[in-house]
Structure 1
């Protein structure tokens, strides 16, 4: 597997495809997103990595200050822009109650999400999927992005977000961002 990682070393999705860089998700960078489990631009502990790498697929605890007045939903998106794909790989997407200011460890678990958390489809599953980069591919950045939305998110002709909506459809439908915050962590499989 390390051979595959070395062969794909220069193949990465890139930052351009991150939700953070979507024109409709631009806004004031005023939500200070942090975690007691790792600091910005530091390694993510193995506990939060994928099970096949010895982790527990346990989403890290997250904290942020209260969303601005007028926020109707919080959108949390976790992406890996270093995945050897055309677009960043989605490791979790959820709608949060706007009154929340934190998530506990494991708050994005598919079977038992925290109160106020609605897990959306990340493509092939719901809930948090921990880091599991290809061996030898180098460090991967995991970008936790929180958006305070001023209007309810709707996808397609529905007046809600279907649980089965594709992540790119959810991100394309989001807008009216009142504030946003970002936390980057790294994980490397050697």
Structure 2
């Protein structure tokens, strides 16, 4: 069990100093809960797995199964955004493995640039809570669904946001987008405002 706790703490500490300590604690708790839920550290006879056997096992399929039910996805997202589970269901469709933003359009800003950033916060927070990477294309599709897509200014709206980091080659739709520490806080505030 000590090896499992150590592994979860190392994973959470890799978030870096730009992430608030309470965010690292939340990440640690979520990683540890996921590992315990999957039974990564305990054999059927109740004895602990050694760290070397944990490292030797492939984790690809286990990672895919961590949030295999809508309830697990709801728990992860509600914990990440610090809202109730039912409130997470108001913001996201969780039936599929990939969360779907389902906010009423009138709750988003009428300005396309600001609405793009708001949608990005929702998409990124849900996908981050579930351990999924987010490309600009993921965000673009949702922005298009809400009819807030402004092709010449879409990338600029994301790149100039103080809450986001855009990685990868310019002009590529496969660029990765991540939340900064301030972005996690902004996403929580925005989600809490939407469900209030």
> TM (normalized to structure 1)?
0.31
Higher relative contact order (CA 8 A, sep 6+): 1
Relative to its length, the structure with more helix (as a share) is 2
* Greater radius of gyration (CA): 2
